[in-house]
């Protein structure tokens, strides 16, 4: 597991298109994230040898400043898992769980106490993964995706003794 760079653009875009279909992000948006043009966004990739076989994208909270946030005690902002995708031939081997835990570790390091995500209501496999990793439903967004499918909003606390620490190089 490592932080992605602009050199990973083709591989990440390929995973997006194969794994997320119509919901895939554009090459321009992925490129902006990989280039560091989106200050809160971090891309992680999982590799097998030189091949990128999975990726995850997290939006991390920015450090609070008095000028940016006049509320004296707003509490820590959550991190949000934006994307996670694993190559079809690498699924069911723990790679998505490892990516998810690496994202959680980055979020904790950034000061987040919660990790949020949205998942398609009809994505039973992903929902089972998230439930197994400690996520619970907090909201639904009707007709969220292009095809009219609802999104389920999930949340996981990042603090506690059960938290496993993963490292990202």
Question: What is the CATH number for 146?
Answer: 3.40.630.30
The answer to whether residue 169 sits within a structural domain is no
Q: How high is the pLDDT of residue 20?
A: 82
pLDDT at 93: 87
Range(s) of the domain holding residue 51: 2-62+76-157
104 located within any domain: yes
Low-confidence ranges of the chain (pLDDT < 70): 63-75, 160-169
Roughly how many angstroms between the first and final C-alpha of the chain, as a whole number?
7
pTM: predicted TM-score of the whole model, two decimal places: 0.83
Q: CA 58 to CA 79: how far, in whole Å?
A: 7
Cα–Cα dist 44/136, whole Å: 24
Contact 18, 35 (CB under 8 A): no
126 domain residue, yes or no: yes
Total number of domains in the chain: 1
Cβ atoms of 54 and 2 closer than 8 Å: no
- Residue 165 is predicted with a pLDDT of 46
* Residue 137 within a domain: yes
Distance of CA 113 to the CA centre of its chain: 15
Q: Tokens representing 120?
A: 């398609």
**Domain membership flag for residue 151:** yes
pLDDT score at 62: 79
Tens digits of residue pLDDT in 22-35: 888 999 999 999 99
Residue 67 included in any domain: no
């Amino acid at each position: 597991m490592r932080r992605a760079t602009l050199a990973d653009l083709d591989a990440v875009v390929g995973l997006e298109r194969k794994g997320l279909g119509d919901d895939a992000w554009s090459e321009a948006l992925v490129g902006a994230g990989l280039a560091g043009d989106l200050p809160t966004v971090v891309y992680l990739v999982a590799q097998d040898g030189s091949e990128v076989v999975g990726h995850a994208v997290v939006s991390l909270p920015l450090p609070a400043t008095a000028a940016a946030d006049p509320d004296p005690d707003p509490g820590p902002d959550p991190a949000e898992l934006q994307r996670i995708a694993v190559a079809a031939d690498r699924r069911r081997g723990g790679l998505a769980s490892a990516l998810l835990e690496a994202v959680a570790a980055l979020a904790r390091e950034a000061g987040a106490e919660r990790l949020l995500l949205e998942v398609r209501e009809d994505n039973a496999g992903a929902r089972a993964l998230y439930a197994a990793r400690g996520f619970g439903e907090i909201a639904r967004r009707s007709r969220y995706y292009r095809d009219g499918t609802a999104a389920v909003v999930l949340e996981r606390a990042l603090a506690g003794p059960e938290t496993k620490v993963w490292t990202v190089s």
